[in-house]
Structure 1
Amino acid sequence: MQATAEILGKKILVEWSASADKAMSVLASPMLVEMELYFSCLIRKAVRFGQDAPSPYSVTVTPRLKLGFRPVVTKACKVSDVEDEPPVEDFKLTKPEAFVPKKLFLDFKRGQWVGEFYM
């Protein structure tokens, strides 16, 4: 399955597997999928699933799927000081539209949501 969404004037192709489509069909409310672009010592991409993620740029893709884009920056760069997920804050980009991903793929495997986005 697929749909096209637009964030900050940029089109994003959103594709999802049959198992993801089946899992979305039973959701009571739309699931927000957040594409997080993490700036720190290195740049990292993450796809986060939930209903209340704090994406500053979000759109509705289907009645059961919302899509968000969130650039963040870590509060510290020393990776050895942080276990698990380091604390982050929203990163105010001068031109955030330049960083909006072009494609997102979603799947539902072994009871877990998984996703990958492409720049």
Structure 2
Amino acid sequence: MPARRTGAQTRVELNGRPVDVHLSRAAEQALAERQQPLLAEMELYFSCLIRYQVRFQEPTDGSGIVVNDKLQLRFRPVMTARCGNDYAGDEPPLTDFPIEKPAAFTPHWLQIDYRRGQWQGEFGY
């Protein structure tokens, strides 16, 4: 796991496993200024390669778990139908990737920072 930044740490349960959520001081301050919660979605992308990415968005369906009153968390494994770079957009269309035992793929930690007006996140095992 990368070195911890100063700020807040919270442990939540996701898919029956503990996930340590680390917020930098800048992230704590930016969250405190928000009127509504932010959803941090940890995306595990399966295709010709495996990619980890944290996407930040406004929660719409309540499917995230509550970290605190300003932050929700979700884990989403996704895949593409086929490999290749012949898609008309930036990325090929994604679909949810069904996993029989999601706990085995659930990340152990998530770090969130806020720099130059942008949310940044990293997760790992």
User: Shorter-normalised TM-score: what interval?
Assistant: over 0.9
Q: Give 5+ residue unaligned stretches, structure 2.
A: 1-7
TM-score scaled by structure 1?
Answer: 0.92
TM-score scaled by structure 2?
Answer: 0.88
1:81 aligns with 2:86: yes
The question of whether the paired residues in 1 share the 8 Å contact of 2:37 and 2:59 is answered with: no
The equivalent position to 1:24 in structure 2, one of 19, 31, 47, is: 31
4+ residue stretches of structure 1 with deviation over 6 A?
A: none
User: Residue deviations 1:9-39, cap 9 Å, x none?
Assistant: 1000000100000000011111000000000
The question of whether the paired residues in 2 share the 8 Å contact of 1:72 and 1:88 is answered with: yes
Q: Give 5+ residue unaligned stretches, structure 1.
A: none
The question of whether the paired residues in 2 share the 8 Å contact of 1:35 and 1:45 is answered with: yes
What is the DSSP-based 3-state SS (H/G/I as helix, E as strand, rest coil) of the residue aligned with 1:33?
A: strand
Name the CA shift for 1:101/1:54 in 2 (closer, same or farther; >3 Å).
farther
After superposition, the CA RMSD in angstroms is 1.6
In the other structure, the counterpart of 2:116 is 110
Q: Percent identity, aligned pairs only?
A: 45
* Number of corresponding residues: 117
